[in-house]
Structure 1
Amino acid sequence: MLVFCAMYINWLDTPSLYIPSQIPIKSRMIHTCYHQITNGVKDYDITYRRGVCGFFSRGYITPPKNATIILKDSQDKCVAYIDKNSTNGVILHTAGADLFGYGLFEQSTAKRMGLNLIKWLENELKGNNNE
């Protein structure tokens, strides 16, 4: 399941409701964590769009226990995670950021996330992914 929206209703038994960041948008940085989806993506290119900060995500989520965090903010809060333990499937959840389309029309490394995500999904569907 892919969840790219800010969840305000807890429909799963996971603590992943959207929490607005208290950091001013222009001071908040997004950081990639080592993962196939963020491979080759620069933190600057996620944080800034056409030189303006704050488009990617304006909040964070609390990941479930044992989730793989793939994006964090400048206060080490989770912006995106992958959860393979809470259900019988796989959940990729972001704090309101579309990993497919973000940066797609930019001349930056941010556009790699969409392609990386498709490759990761393909591996997941084939059962070849160990993170």
Structure 2
Amino acid sequence: MDQLEFRLLERVHAPSVVPEQWVKFAKSYREAVRVAWTLRRMKAAKPSDMARDMGFYAQHISDWLAEDDRKMRRSLPATEIPDFESWVGNTLVSQWLAFRAKLTVLEQITATQQTA
């Protein structure tokens, strides 16, 4: 009898944290966005689905996910990161930003508490 794996430590109603290997894999902000998209929960989803559900412009999403990093390409705006992460189901972009800032988990928590 086959058993299905039940992931007990995964966040149910929030984006999941991705393994550190993926955070280190992304060498740029735009690449972090593309990797987050690749790791999305709904594998069959298309950029047009996200545009419809989140109210983003499809052309903007195409730029965010474009493999070439030409200067004319738009990048995911910082104000849209929470909605993007919610839709793709992971926090890779936020994790990448924290990693690049060289913040430890404790520093992130302390900074959050000080601004609250």
Interval of TM-score (by shorter of Structure 1 and Structure 2): 0.3 to 0.5
- Greater RCO structure (CA 8 Å; 6+ sep): 2
Please report the TM-score for the alignment, with normalisation by the length of structure 2. Answer: 0.32
Structure with more strand by fraction: 1
**Pair member with larger Rg:** 2
